């Protein structure tokens, strides 16, 4: 048995974590997975999460019963408000469906599965993904029989947005195509459209009647402001665009391993929302029955308590602020101190957890092999892996590989 099972390669992101852990070199640096680290390179339990933990420990009503199939209601309701905005027409008109999911990956999967089953496809089941995108998107859609295609997004010449190429794909894709858009802090490039560019994107999406599949894994990480980072999603909802949103609290609450996320489907009417909800409940039941309770309880406490919510915003500023400081320092080291050939302004122009450095696969491999610096071969670095102690080591080695 199993003689015919082909050997799959290890996951390109998580294999870096494993290789880094196994490496005994003292100055090793992990810039692979997008997980926040403090200035001592330690995972950071947010102070607000510690407080919420204390409340939960003391709460005599906490038990280990099943959550409802669609999740903890005080969590999903608050999570919807956080992303769609408390004044969202979709919430006012009770036409948003919110389901608790196994983090952002689970939201992507459930959203994709739902579309695969129920979207009225005019032709083959296809989704347009940005080129590049989070590598996992490809297999998530393939798993449910939706073929991924790509649209131009990143321009290596400018290390910025290929705006014209992007618009062109929106214009030429057949009407009612499904486009996956990163709501903010694009992974892996750190390049987001401006508000004016989003407006134009929305115009064409409406004209062509495309369906938008928003992935929002980094709310708060792009600008440090939760509302600002939800701008594109809220704007698209206001424009009446058909869409769904995948949400994750892995990064912005540091709850990676608790797998707390949500899928929000914005339907045109309450009646449509009721039908969508009923089918999502059937899908969820067959896949996971009931979502896990712990992370949802933590987030529900934080979102529904004014003082915890304020504290959370401060914690997000701590994380995004440290990342911005690292961007500035890396930029200074490369462009001023080491005078590394090339223009490094993209390091400070890109936002969110990642920077797309522009180094190629050979240079990236050289960084790993010669300097024990772990990054994906597309040149993406997780800015959170840099700190005041290792940034010079990284910059000097980057300088070396760039000079060849």
Q: How far is the CB of 241 from ligand LMR (least distance, A)?
A: 25
Q: How far is the CB of 19 from ligand LMR (least distance, A)?
A: 14
Using CB under 6 A as the binding rule, the residues of this chain from 32 to 51 that contact ligand LMR are 33-34
Instruction: Tell me the per-residue interface mask from 131 to 160 with ligand LMR, x by CB under 6 A, - otherwise.
Output: ---x-x------------------------
Is 187 one of the binding residues for ligand LMR (CB under 6 A)? Answer: yes
Identify which of residues 139 and 278 has a Cβ nearer to ligand LMR in the complex.
139
CA 86 vs. chain centroid, Å, equals 22
Catalytic residue ranges: 134, 215, 251
Task: Compute the distance between CA of residue 262 and CA of residue 245 in angstroms, rounded to an integer.
Answer: 8
Q: How far is the CB of 109 from ligand LMR (least distance, A)?
A: 12
Identify which of residues 33 and 97 has a Cβ nearer to ligand LMR in the complex.
33
Identify which of residues 36 and 231 has a Cβ nearer to ligand LMR in the complex.
36
Concatenate the DSSP letters of all residues of 94-156 into one string.
T-EEEEEEEHHHHHHHHHHHHHHHHS--SSS-EEEEEES--THHHHHHHHTT-EEEEEE-EET
Report the SS3 class of residue 281: helix
Q: Which residues contact 260 (CB under 8 A, 6 or more apart)?
A: 75, 100, 103, 248, 249, 250, 253, 292, 295, 296, 298, 299
Size of the site for ligand LMR (CB under 6 A): 6
* Residue 98, phi then psi, degrees to nearest 5: -120, 130
Q: Which helix (DSSP H) or strand (DSSP E) does residue 285 occupy?
A: helix 270-287
Using CB under 6 A as the binding rule, the residues of this chain from 4 to 33 that contact ligand LMR are 13, 33
Q: How far is the CB of 385 from ligand LMR (least distance, A)?
A: 10
Q: How far is the CB of 33 from ligand LMR (least distance, A)?
A: 4
Instruction: Tell me the per-residue interface mask from 117 to 136 with ligand LMR, x by CB under 6 A, - otherwise.
Output: -----------------x-x
Using CB under 6 A as the binding rule, the residues of this chain from 220 to 239 that contact ligand LMR are none
Task: Enter the tokens of residue 226.
Answer: 């939760």
Identify which of residues 177 and 350 has a Cβ nearer to ligand LMR in the complex.
350
Beta carbons of 256 and 222 less than 8 angstroms apart:
no
Residues forming contacts to ligand LMR in the complex (CB under 6 A) are: 13, 33-34, 134, 136, 187
């Amino acid at each position: 048995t199993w003689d015919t099972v082909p050997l799959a390669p290890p996951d390109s992101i998580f294999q870096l974590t494993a290789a880094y852990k196994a490496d005994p070199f003292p100055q090793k640096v992990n810039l692979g997975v997008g997980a926040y680290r403090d200035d001592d390179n330690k995972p950071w339990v947010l102070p607000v999460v510690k407080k919420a933990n204390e409340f939960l420990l003391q709460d005599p009503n906490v038990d280990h019963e099943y959550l409802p199939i669609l999740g903890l209601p005080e969590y999903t309701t608050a999570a919807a408000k956080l992303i769609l905005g408390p004044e969202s027409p979709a919430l006012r008109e009770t036409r948003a469906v919110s389901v608790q999911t196994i983090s952002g990956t689970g939201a992507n999967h459930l959203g994709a599965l739902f579309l695969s089953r129920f979207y009225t496809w005019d032709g083959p089941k296809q989704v347009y993904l940005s080129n590049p995108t989070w590598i996992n998107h490809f297999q998530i859609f393939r798993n449910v029989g939706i073929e991924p295609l790509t649209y131009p997004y990143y321009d290596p010449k400018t290390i910025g947005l290929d705006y014209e190429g992007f618009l062109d794909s929106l214009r030429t894709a057949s009407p009612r195509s499904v486009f996956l858009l990163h709501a903010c802090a694009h992974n892996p490039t750190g390049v987001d459209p401006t508000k004016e560019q989003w407006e134009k994107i929305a115009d064409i999406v409406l004209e062509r009647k495309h369906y938008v599949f928003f992935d929002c894994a980094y709310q708060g990480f792009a600008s440090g402001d939760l509302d600002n980072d939800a701008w594109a999603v809220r704007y698209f909802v206001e424009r009446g665009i058909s869409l769904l949103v995948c949400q994750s609290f892995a990064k912005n609450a540091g709850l990676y391993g608790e797998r707390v996320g949500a899928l929000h489907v914005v339907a045109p009417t309450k009646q449509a929302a009721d039908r969508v909800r009923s089918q999502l409940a059937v899908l969820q039941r067959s896949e996971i029955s009931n979502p896990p309770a712990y992370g949802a309880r933590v987030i529900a406490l934080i979102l529904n308590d004014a003082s915890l919510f304020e504290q959370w915003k401060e914690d997000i500023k701590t994380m995004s602020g440290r990342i911005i400081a690292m961007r500035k320092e890396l930029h200074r080291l490369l462009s001023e101190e080491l005078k590394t050939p090339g223009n490094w302004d993209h390091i400070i122009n890109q936002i969110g957890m990642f920077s797309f450095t522009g180094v190629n696969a050979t240079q990236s491999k050289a960084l790993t092999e010669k300097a024990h610096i772990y990054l994906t071969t597309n040149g993406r670095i997780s800015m959170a892996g840099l700190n005041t102690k290792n940034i010079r080591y990284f910059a000097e080695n980057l300088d070396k590989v760039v000079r060849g």
